[in-house]
Amino acid sequence: MKSLHEKVKISWRISSYFTAILFSVFIAAPITLATKNFVLGLIPFFVIIPLTEIMIRFSYNNYKYELAKDSLKIEKGVITKTYKSIPYGRIQNVDIHRGILARMLGYSSVSIHTAGYSGPAQYAQAEGYIPAVSVKEAEKIRDSIVKKAKK
């Protein structure tokens, strides 16, 4: 099974750290105001940031995909593992997304759409989602899936 693009960790860090910092501020402000001790208010920040880094590393290490003979296999998850197998015959569309940060870091996201799937909106109704592969690999995945889906 293949891993994601190495630089996805940078964009995950940016979004996760931003969220962690906001969360820390909302926890730290009341503690600082209540105790009048600024150092005590920094404790949530110094706990959340390392935990966030650990989760990013585990998430990256546990997201794998494979173009098998008869289906696309996706394995992901840290606390709860998810194993998906999407038969090529069900695939109707493969989209490649490159946001501004992804373009700067040199990777693409691949969404695999099947007929009748209605999953979480965060994946734009895609049954399969590979969040970060190189630009060349994304096009290779798309071409390979489309070719196998037509058979």
Helix and strand element counts for the chain (H, E): 5, 7
pLDDT at 123: 46
Mean pLDDT, the chain, integer:
87
| Dihedral Cα 120, 103, 14, 52, nearest 10 deg | 60
> For the chain, which residues make up each domain, given as ranges?
2-60, 66-150
Q: The whole model's pTM is what?
A: 0.80
According to DSSP, the residues that pair with 97 across neighbouring strands are: 109
- Give the SS3 label for residue 129: strand
For the record, the structure tokens of 79 come out as 């606390």
87-127: per-residue pLDDT in tens? 999 999 999 999 999 999 999 999 999 877 665 555 456 78
CATH 1.10.760 fits 66-150, yes or no: no
pLDDT of residue 115: 78
pLDDT at 139 over 80: yes
Higher pLDDT, 7 or 30: 7
Q: What is the mean pLDDT of residues 120-140?
A: 82
pLDDT at 6: 93
